[in-house]
Structure 1
């Protein structure tokens, strides 16, 4: 799957919308944009983008780069693979150039952050 950097950065639009020095904690919208799999599920619940939802999209982008797989269902697949000691080391795409230890560490970081986000 091909990730697009346009899926990351919706929170920056909130800052631009506010203008000046006003702080904006989220951006509410009537329209949802983003590729399925990259958008934080929280956006579909309340139509609000934030730095946390941008972080989710960036994390999925990193997992796509790491695994060479498409974004849909990737987070859950990586979570399942990390629970199995025999498959955790094979998360990275063969031609990605990641060592097994690097791949597992990055995948654990991204999956862990996404799971923390789910609990909020």
Structure 2
């Protein structure tokens, strides 16, 4: 059995149902955690200069681009134990959760992967 190389996996809370005709349902039961970003530690620690010095800030930026919303990183899906953007370099595999406020969720426009009528 081979062991996966160390990596960071970032989960984001995304809606289960989306309708273009109504506002996004912000109730907690409509949202679930989805792995959205996986970063090999080796590559992350090899980023140039200022990016590798503040990896959590870079990860927060990258996941924000992926989900289209501003948020904060935490090591817990249930509590908002916000990660320090200035934390030292990463040395072991970690799972992070990207928490988004209801205000930011309301701005999101998640894409339905089953919608074939996009133009």
Q: Same fold (TM over 0.5)?
A: no
Instruction: Looking at secondary structure, tell me which structure has more helix per residue.
Output: 1
Higher strand share: 2
Task: Determine which structure has greater relative contact order: mean sequence separation of CA pairs < 8 Å that are 6+ residues apart, divided by chain length.
Answer: 2
